[in-house]
Amino acid sequence: MSQPISIAVIVSGWDTPAGKQFAADAETKKQFHYVPLWSMLTDRVTAEQVRHKETDEMTMLAIYSQMDFVNAIVSLAEYVIASTNEPRDVVQLIHAECRTGWHRASTFGNTFAEVINSVEGSAGNRLFNCQCYSLLKYTRADAINQQIQSAIGWVFREDPHLMPGGAGRDRATLYAYHAVAQREQSEANFKHIWDWVDAFNALDDDDDAYLDAVPPIVVKVESRSRSRSPSGPLPLVTPPWKRMTPKAKVRPVVRPVQLAKLPAPPIDDPPSHMLPWKNIEADSDVAQSWSGVLDEYNVDAASQHSIFALAQASGEGRQRAFAVMTKLFKKAADGERIANSSAFVWSSVKRAWDSMGWNQ
């Protein structure tokens, strides 16, 4: 029985110190299969709420409820499995990225690692040994580099720890199981993903009707607004660079796998230059520029109304509103936790009105 193929998944945010450092290292970046979740998972699921720098149950609910989440997980799993059967390098290094990394990338990376670790060959042997490496809390250049190099080193270890996995696991022990039960849609997506794993593991060596054996992915969703992204969802991204060469002792998986041909759209740069709030025009729309940012910081409607009213009151009011937003950004950049961002904005706006003498 061959040793499972080691896989490392790095999760990060392109608008973070770690993400920017990663992007600047062209040689290291070439080794990773890139998954741009910022353009794949674009459903904002407006009824849900996520908190800044949190990977808790609220985050899992919001991400698992997205209509493209199942396809994103299953497509990458199929792609990795197919790479062991085709005349190309096995995909062993994966970089999953969204804007901050805390929500889409974290949920995706942890789910994918557990899914691919549960895939077995026809003889009942584990095919993969995947570990998720997070860059979310890293800010120092040397520590960021060490985490990245550790992920690369994982695929070359001679006898790495075997991460939990295998078929037939109790679903109650799986990542996000308890969180997704709170919403019908997130629970349905969870079941679709793990039904796919069970169907794959049930295949025989001579079973060439792979796609027929896998339960169809039918996601029931209501119409929702789209998040800030430059384009629609991408089912799969095939990078132009060469992937990692697998270890010599790894033998290809013998099970034949037939996959639908997936499009390979070009990889766009992260949309930092397209975000509405990255606009230095003097006549830019304050509401358009700030609404998404304030939503992300969980600022309630009343507090948002107050800062927009301040910005629209006069030239001085606009300047003072910019000052409030700058303080909000600075606190987040410094890692300072804001217990109540709504109260912070509300009180800051009130002080601005008082300074202008308009509350008298």
Reported as a single tens digit per residue, the pLDDT across 140-193 is: 999 999 999 999 999 988 888 888 888 878 888 888 888 888 888 888 999 899
Q: How many residues does the chain have?
A: 360
Cα separation, 124 vs 77, whole angstroms: 18
Instruction: Tell me the pLDDT tens digit for each residue of 27-49.
Output: 888 899 999 998 888 877 766 76
State the chain's maximal CA–CA distance in angstroms: 82
> What pTM was computed for the model?
0.60
Q: What average pLDDT score do residues 74-87 get?
A: 85
32 touches 154 (CB < 8 A): no
Q: What average pLDDT score do residues 229-246 get?
A: 35
Least confident of 96-105, 106-115, 245-254, 302-311: 245-254
131 touches 113 (CB < 8 A): yes
Q: What separation in angstroms does the CA of 190 have from each of 116, 170, 183?
A: 14, 13, 11
pLDDT at 238: 35
Q: At which residue do the structure tokens 């987040």 appear?
A: 332
Domain ranges within the chain, ordered by starting residue: 5-269, 276-356
